[in-house]
Homo-oligomer: A and B are copies of this chain.
Amino acid sequence: MISALKEVLAYISPFDDAELDRIAALFHSLQCRRNEQILREGETCTAFYFVQKGSIRTYFIDKKGNERTRYIMLDNWIGTALTSFISQQPSLECIEAMEDSELLFISHKDFFELNEQLSNWKRFYQRILEMAYAFQNKKIESLVTLSAKERYQQVLEENPALIQRVSNKVLASYLDINPETLSRLKSR
């Protein structure tokens, strides 16, 4: 179970086995149920998550009260409400489980202590930030150059698991289209 975490960590930065043991020991487990809130709006994000099983998402509430999904994590992926996690200010983003899920998490304190002590962890954090930047960059490009239908087709090709496992309502907010429009797109 922990080995999946180690594999992902080692994929991102070249940790040796001793480092992986040390790091894995800092992760704690967390079970949560479908629709359970892991981080509420206004709370400060003090954990960085690994999804062992299940799926979680981050989202914010727009001025009309609609949920806008920013980031979706399925099994074996990592992430958090990064803005609040970095700034340690109250978060505008929420984190929510989309399915019953088994998570591992490391606290902000341990995360940044590692960042002081372990050069491979600095490298890890740099790569997390670089990947987050690349992800956002691609999202912006999709938003400004693709139609609603093309954005849907892009996910269909590049990440079909999302379409199978995520509700239409959440998927629509992730693609920045209305549920009604998504429903029409799916039926051609």
Binding site for B on A (CB under 8 A): 60, 62-63, 68, 70, 82-83, 86, 122, 125-126, 129-130, 132-134, 136-137, 139-141, 143-145, 176
Nearest CB on B from A86, distance (A):
5
Nearest CB on B from A40, distance (A):
19
Closest 3 CB pairs of A and B: A136-B136, A129-B129, A62-B145
* Candidates B129, B132, B136, B144; contact of A176 at CB < 8 Å: B144
> Roughly how many angstroms separate A144 CA and B86 CA in the complex, as a whole number?
23
**5 sampled A-B residue pairs with Cβ under 8 A:** A62-B144, A70-B140, A86-B130, A133-B133, A133-B136
**How many monomers of this protein are in the complex?**
2
Closest B residue, CB atoms, query A116: B119
What B residues does A136 contact at CB under 8 A?
Answer: 133, 136-137, 140
What B residues does A176 contact at CB under 8 A?
Answer: 143-144
**Residue pair A133, B82 in contact (C-beta under 8 Å):** yes
> Roughly how many angstroms separate A122 CA and B129 CA in the complex, as a whole number?
13
* Candidates B86, B129, B143, B145; contact of A63 at CB < 8 Å: B145
